Structure 1
Amino acid sequence: MSHPEIIIPFQWTEAAESIIYGSPPSSTPIIFICGPKNSGKSTFGRHLCNVLLHRYDRVGFLDTDVGQPEFSLPGCLSLHLIDEQCEDLAAISVKAPLKCHFFGDISSKRDPKAYLARIFHLFDYFVDEHRLTKPEKPVISMLPLVINTPGWVKGIGYDLLVEMIQFMKPTHVVQIRTTSEAKNLPAGAFWLDGNKEDDVSMINIAAPCTNSFNETILVQKQAQQLRENRIVSYFRQIVPAESNISTSKDLARVLASIPPYKVSISGIKIRHLHCHVPDSERFHSLNATIVGLAISSKESLNSKDHLPWCVGLGIIRGIDIFKDVLYVITPVPLCDLEKVDVLLQGLIRIPTCLLQVRGFMCPYMSSNVLNRLDPAGMDI
């Protein structure tokens, strides 16, 4: 179903239907969507998922855009299983991922190697769980996968797209092209060397011809606001349903009054992403920041890459090094929070609208801390 303000071009409909109905039943598609920013990749990806759901009960969705993710939060790389139609192709939709990595930045340029490692880890997980035929699970059907990519298609961004396609070996590559050839990816199978051949189905579709210069500038200005809206929407889940909230200042005030969780500093690992922080400064850098709440997996414990799965984000409200405690607010369920053993600090900032209450980031008073040692619960 299209959004009232979004008209799916006939060429897009043909492309989506050719992927699902043009593929033999024995060949489950992996579709790689690429193109410059603001070309319509997200809209086409949602439309494609809707079409695929006519044939499959579920569709895998791998989100590799850390700046403008489709279903997850800024700074995250995530894998989703979509099982229902997207009725509004334009609405912001934050969904709980099947698996997630916290990259900690809104661009891959800061650490391209770490960016690819996390994407490949997610892809391998999907292939192992939902694409491979397993003797112990012979009745599990293979699921299609839609891969959403960022709009950085030049320089290192181009190199990353090439590496992703070569690693994932999709059945279809959908390239969205704009009227400005200088902004587009090279035509054809750009990821191949001249002497190589590939059996990937290449589909070129045109971006909707609505991008005037002024409109493009407007979208770029809104990017930061869209990221902040996603983060605000995520942390709003903590707020009790009966709270009377009409402004962002109301939301900030309610969040400031919510008792945080107590986390033992000595019982958790703290990892700083994208920068080196001296031991003497690590708590100063950690306080009043958004962190990824992660759980070490068996493979991360035995791997030099150490890629723990992220179960959500939290805000560090305060730190008391003398009591060996830091205070966290998060919508992550307690059953998952109890398993968290790694805090990942990146460069994702708290939205300015949540800093409007004086003292919001001050260390929490002990009288207002949820003491998990009393009958109300247990220590995290």
Structure 2
Amino acid sequence: MVYYGQTSCEQDTERYIDVVKYVFNSYKKEVPLVINTMGWVKGEGLLLLSDMIRLLSPTHIVQMDVYDWKAMAPLTPEHVHLAPGLYTKGKRQAKCKQMDLSIAESWKSSEGEEDDESAPEYKLLYIHPEFPRAGVAGEARVHSSILRDMSILGYLGQLQPPDIGSVLPLHSLVPYQVPFNAVALRVVHTDVAPTNIMYAVNASWVGLCRIPDEIRCQTDGPVLLTQTPVCDCLGFGIVRGVEMEKKLYHVLTPVPPENLRLVNCLLLGNIAIPNCILVSQEGIEGEIPYVTSEYNYSILGSGKLKKKKHFKKREYMFQCDYT
């Protein structure tokens, strides 16, 4: 497993391809492999999908279309063979632009045998719904952000003692103490000044990773990486606190201790901790940890979350519970 650290690969497609290559190279081909591709199939997303097909060489592709939407052609082997990718080119893309249709057709027939050998070989299973409004954006009953929050809540539920009926808040769980100089640190999705790195890490969701290089630090740390590594991720955790005097990270994670001994890198992405975990902490008098009601929206880079107007209002709400 590799921690990509973002909800979309649009901002860093090169790293996305590197991650896919890294994961695919560990595939032993002893059992069938099912690849669930992302839903970004417009513009550069469609070009990137062509790159993925060429890279992974699947035996079957299942393409599920949307009713009355003609923006995406069937991904037949012939189409992928000719279509350009984001980082790869179609086999005859450049030449066909310089020829008229009749010349291109004759060139296709004369070189058909050679092209068939290099064209991708897979079976396309094309599913096209015939009922109106199937797959229309905004009408899904559960959106990706909700599913992501539910996955995080389920993962953190492993921290809860099995014999306690109520949910323990973050401040009641015992964290691991990790010295600054024992792990390297890297923010994946943006550039953060070294003087502000601890503000970014505190109360954040992190990937617990292992890089092949040994962590060498002659001081008490912290150890900051200059580039984002593509490496194994052993699990996830929450940096519950940063103790500057003792140079310690306080990390909450359900990863077993024998695996934590292998962790030497913390990767911070833009995956947010569900708000209900921070806001719904019971047994607290006064201010809630990690939550503030006094916020200055005039600060550069601050602002309220944007509303997605194409989403329809749901008639029900999800109860936040990670037991």
- Asked if these proteins are the same fold (TM beyond 0.5), I'd say yes
**Residue 110 of structure 1: how far off its partner (Å):** 1.2
Gaps of 5+ in 1: 1-99, 132-141, 246-250, 363-380
* Structure 2: gaps of 5 or more residues: 83-90, 93-114, 215-226, 282-286, 292-323
CA distance in 2, matches of 1:355, 1:260: 16
Paired residue type of 2:158: Q
* Counterpart check, 1:353 vs 2:282: no
Give percent identity, aligned residues only. Answer: 29
In 1, Cα distance between equivalents of 2:213 and 2:244: 30
Decide whether aligned partners of structure 1 residues 124 and 305 sit closer, same or farther in structure 2, where only a CA change above 3 A counts: farther
After TM superposition, the score normalised by the length of structure 2 is 0.68
Q: Whose RCO is larger (CA < 8 A, sep 6+)?
A: 2
Paired position in structure 1 for 2:174: 259
The structure whose Rg is larger is 2
- Is the alpha carbon distance of 1:207 and 1:337 closer, same or farther for their aligned partners in structure 2, counting shifts above 3 Å? farther
Instruction: Write out per-residue CA displacement over residues 203-234 of structure 1, whole angstroms, 9 at most, x where no aligned residue.
Output: 23325556637974232763211111111111
Rounded to whole Å, the distance in 2 between the matches of 1:278 and 1:111 is 20
* Residues 214/298 of structure 1: CA separation in 2 closer, same or farther (3 Å cut): closer
- Structure 1 pair 164–199 and aligned structure 2 pair: CA distance change class (3 A): closer
User: What letter corresponds to residue 156 of structure 1 in structure 2?
Assistant: E
Q: Does 1:188 align with 2:76?
A: yes
How well do the aligned residues superpose, as a CA RMSD in angstroms? 2.6
**Using the alignment, how far apart are the partners of 1:305 and 1:325 within structure 2?**
22
Give, in angstroms, the shift of residue 116 of structure 1.
0.8
Counterpart Cα distance in 2 of 1:205 and 1:102: 31
Shift of residue 256, structure 1, vs aligned partner:
2.7
Residue 191 of structure 1 aligns with an amino acid whose one-letter code is: V
**Aligned with residue 111 of structure 1, among 3, 8, 12:** 12
1:206-285 to structure 2, matched below 5 A, reads 206-209=127-130, 212=133, 216-219=137-140, 222-245=143-166, 251=167, 253-285=168-200
SS in 2 for 1:182: coil
Q: Displacement, 1:165?
A: 1.0
- Residues 149-187 of structure 1, C-alpha deviations (whole Å, 9 max, x = no match): 011111111121111111111122222222223343445
How far, CA to CA, are the matches of 2:127 and 2:272 in structure 1? 35
The answer (yes or no) to whether the contact 1:295–1:342 under 8 Å persists in 2 is yes
SS at 1:327's partner residue?
A: strand
3-state SS, counterpart of residue 217 of structure 1: coil
1:298 is displaced (CA, Å) by: 6.7
Cα distance in structure 2, aligned partners of 1:265 and 1:145: 39
User: Do residues 121 (structure 1) and 22 (structure 2) align?
Assistant: yes
Residue from 200, 206, 224 that aligns with 1:291: 206
Q: Could you tell me which amino acid in structure 2 is paired with residue 113 of structure 1?
A: E
- Could you tell me whether the CA contact under 8 Å between 1:295 and 1:341 is conserved in 2? yes
SS at match of 2:207: strand
In the alignment, is the contact (CA less than 8 A) between 2:61 and 2:122 conserved in 1?
yes
Letter in 2 for 1:241: P
The structure with the greater share of residues assigned to strand is 1
Residue in 2 aligned with 1:43?
A: none
Residues 1:148 and 2:40 are matched in the alignment: no
* Equivalent position SS for 1:146: coil
Equivalent residue of 2:80, what SS? coil
| Contact residue 170 and residue 240 of structure 2 kept, 8 A | no
Structure 1 contact 288–315 (Cα < 8 Å) conserved: yes
Contact between 1:171 and 1:200, CA under 8 Å: does it hold in 2?
A: yes
- Distance change (3 Å), C-alpha of 1:327 and 1:199: closer
